[in-house]
Amino acid sequence: MASEQYRADVAVIGSGIVGLAFAREAARRGRSVVVFDRTPVPQGASVRNFGMVWPIGQPPGEQYARALRSRAQWLDLRAAGAVWAAECGSVHAAYESDEDAILREFATAAPGLGVACEYVEGAGAARRFPALNPRGLLGALHSPTELVVNPPAALAALPKFLAEKHGITFRTGVAVARVEMPRVLTATGESWTVTRAFVCSGTDFETLFPAEFAATGTRRCKLQMMKTAPQPNGWTLGPHVAGGLTLCHYKSFEVCATLPRLKARVAEQYPEYVKYGIHVMAAQNDRGEVVIGDSHEYDADISPFDKPEIDDLILTYLGRMVPLPDPRVAARWHGIYAKHPTKPFVTCEPQPGCVIGVAPGSTGMTMSFGLARDWWEAHE
């Protein structure tokens, strides 16, 4: 195949949220940037998620601070007219005493941890967060820092904005077949000479640098999701909603001495939820649709076919926390993300100037802008 020759300072492989964040940061620093994606429109994890920017789930300290820096960039993009984003905040609702104990403990420790949140007792929580089921509501942890974005809309709008505002070139529907620094070679015969290349290929571990990917120990995780139609009569969810299962899921709550008691009860009371890695969250987008999830199945357990029983378990649990005016499911899908067992993000440099940046796990929407800026600040 005849090769066409091009030049840019920086190539980014993958136009998911990680790739867009690295591309934007490079362009902000004056680099000419080309972004490749093998699909004409985004299909990866970045369009399949809740759209939650979720600092409250990050471990207090550096990760939480990075999430807040990332959040600030989403708000900058909103101010520039690039995306819709709402400062909805979040509530974790407690319907059991062990859940309530964790919320109280976390809220008490929060000022010392630098985390912005407050505990609201049952009746007050029911008044303040009317979407929550007031029956049996013992208390809620409110955090003001969470945002909601609409992932398919944001991932469609951001490339247009980055092309117009920052002059980034997008080569969509073009797969990168090889990186041989300083060249990036596409399956369509383009050869780009660059000084840096970022491989932000999500769950594709096989096309580029398979041996290096295997060495990182990165895994794949499948999540089942649903959404309702727009809720009737302008009903609003308000803050993102999460419950007891989520307290067991996110690392932020591991600082709580009361967590093991909840985990033990969940293991006994909800073995099916534990088996499928289910925790239950809900977000409402700008169309009024309520996005609901999710489950976690890894590697060999990942089937192309979804499990209706997982959706049923999720909806049953959500029904106790949020009685939706119209709970009918309008769409079902699954997404797969890359995740490292211990690291919040994986970077490595398989060739000089070529950086693999993957596997933010469940935090890509929350962390990517902060990750990219921190990476560039450390390597400029």
Ligand X SMILES: Cc1cc2nc3c(=O)[nH]c(=O)nc-3n(C[C@H](O)[C@H](O)[C@H](O)COP(=O)(O)OP(=O)(O)OC[C@H]3O[C@@H](n4cnc5c(N)ncnc54)[C@H](O)[C@@H]3O)c2cc1C
Q: Angle at CA 160, nearest 5°, toward 170 and 154? A: 110
> Minimum distance between the CB of residue 264 and ligand X, rounded to whole angstroms?
27
Q: Which of 64, 337, 345, 369 binds ligand X (CB under 6 A)?
A: 337
Six token digits for residue 334: 């699954």
> Minimum distance between the CB of residue 376 and ligand X, rounded to whole angstroms?
17
CA dist., res. 288 & res. 228, Å (int)? 9
Tell me the DSSP string of 190-203: EEEE-SEEEE--TT
> Minimum distance between the CB of residue 41 and ligand X, rounded to whole angstroms?
9
202, β-bridge pairs: none
194 is a contact residue toward ligand X (CB under 6 A): no
344 is a contact residue toward ligand X (CB under 6 A): no
Length of the chain, please?
A: 380
Of the candidate spans 34-42, 99-107, 296-304, 314-322, the one that interacts with ligand X by CB under 6 A turns out to be 34-42
295 is a contact residue toward ligand X (CB under 6 A): no
- Count the Cβ atoms, other than its own, within 10 Å of residue 22: 29
Q: How far is CA 325 from the centre of its chain?
A: 27
Tell me the chain's radius of gyration from C-alpha atoms. Answer: 21
88 is a contact residue toward ligand X (CB under 6 A): no
Of the candidate spans 42-50, 136-144, 241-249, 344-352, the one that interacts with ligand X by CB under 6 A turns out to be 42-50
The β-bridge relationship of strands 147-149 and 139-143 is unpaired
Six token digits for residue 364: 């890509």
Residue closer to ligand X by CB (options 14, 139) is: 14
365 is a contact residue toward ligand X (CB under 6 A): yes
**What sign has the CA pseudo-torsion 176, 179, 180, 183?**
positive
Q: Which of 54, 95, 250, 276 binds ligand X (CB under 6 A)?
A: 54
108 is a contact residue toward ligand X (CB under 6 A): no
CA dist., res. 61 & res. 204, Å (int)? 31
Q: Which of 8, 11, 12, 16 binds ligand X (CB under 6 A)?
A: 16
Kindly state the helix (H) or strand (E) to which residue 187 belongs, with its residue range: none
125 is a contact residue toward ligand X (CB under 6 A): no
67 is a contact residue toward ligand X (CB under 6 A): no
CA dist., res. 52 & res. 312, Å (int)? 22
Residue closer to ligand X by CB (options 277, 360) is: 360
285 is a contact residue toward ligand X (CB under 6 A): no
- For residues 7 and 193, the answer to whether their CB atoms sit within 8 Å is yes
CA dist., res. 23 & res. 357, Å (int)? 12
Six token digits for residue 27: 């362009």
- How many residues contact ligand X, by CB under 6 A? 45
Identify the DSSP state of 287: T
> Minimum distance between the CB of residue 284 and ligand X, rounded to whole angstroms?
13
Q: Which of 193, 195, 207, 347 binds ligand X (CB under 6 A)?
A: 207
Using CB under 6 A as the binding rule, the residues of this chain from 219 to 238 that contact ligand X are 223, 225
Residue closer to ligand X by CB (options 116, 302) is: 302
Which residues of the chain form contacts with ligand X (CB under 6 A)? Answer: 13-19, 36-39, 42-46, 48-52, 54, 175-176, 200-204, 207-208, 223, 225, 293-294, 335, 337, 358, 360-366
